[in-house]
A and B are shown apart, each in its own frame.
Chain A
Amino acid sequence: EVQLVESGGGLVQPGASLKLSCVASGFTFSDYWMSWVRQTPGKTMEWIGDIKYDGSYTNYAPSLKNRFTISRDNAKSTLYLQMSNVRSEDTATYYCTRDQNTYFDYWGQGVMVTVSS
């Protein structure tokens, strides 16, 4: 059974940094692209970016490219999202997804990030 389990969320102050993790199981992690997608409290869904199966290439939504960094550790079957200089508009639930380069076929349960002073 495919499982994606996110962690690392919580309350963070504006301007701070935060690193989210996603541990994958039930499939060969190193064979798949992975993406992060977020959902705002108003339910708007936004793709953040993705990373190639070997970690050699990343893509980002243009509006987020300069503040967010996606990485992975295939030995640990873990995906990461490094968020820097966070803003109130980054408040959202962050989902780790398995990315088929067309659709997202598995999603984690999500982790909440709240940016507030």
Chain B
Amino acid sequence: DIQMTQSPSLLSASVGDRVTLSCKASQNIYKYLNWYQQKLGEAPKLLIYYTNSLQTGIPSRFSGSGSGTDYTLTISSLQPEDVATYFCQQYNSWYTFGAGTKLELK
């Protein structure tokens, strides 16, 4: 199985900050990487697919990058509604998820 490691597990930031979340795969996943946002009490929502493609309706302040084993989700200017847990998910070999990064306001 491909293991996905997200860091940090908890991130505190202020409104307007540029925020970077990391996801590391245990082997090369060739950019087969998606990001989801899960707000408290809600189902996950797809944000970004294939490393850097923005899902329809997602604000442009969200972006993704990476290659090989290392991937990043960036929020260019944090908004209060971005408070959530963010999960990465690989699909190079079946599907596995990271443990999530919980993003809170400072």
Contacts and interface: CB of A to CB of B under 8 A. Distances in A.
Contact of A46 (B32, B43, B85, B97): B97
B44 A43 contact: no
B46 A104 contact: yes
Interface stretch (B15-23, B73-81, B87-95): B87-95
A9 interface: no
Interface residues of A, number: 19
Given A46-B97, A61-B94, A107 B89 contact: no
A55 interface: no
Chain B interface residue bracket vs A: 20 to 34
Given A105-B55, A109-B43, A43 B85 contact: yes
A102 B55 CA distance: 13
Contact of B45 (A45, A107, A110): A107
A110 B43 contact: yes
A47 B4 CA distance: 13
Nearest to B1: A62
Interface string A53-97: 000000101000000000000000000000000000000000100
Contacts of A109: 42-43
Contacts of B50: 102-103
A103 B52 CA distance: 13
Contacts of A61: 94
A102 B46 contact: no
Contacts of A95: 43-44
B99 A102 contact: no
B91 A102 contact: yes
A1 to B, nearest CB: 12
B97 A47 contact: yes
A44 interface: yes
A101 B91 CA distance: 8
Interface of B: 32, 34, 36, 42-46, 49-50, 55, 85, 87, 89, 91, 94-97, 99-100
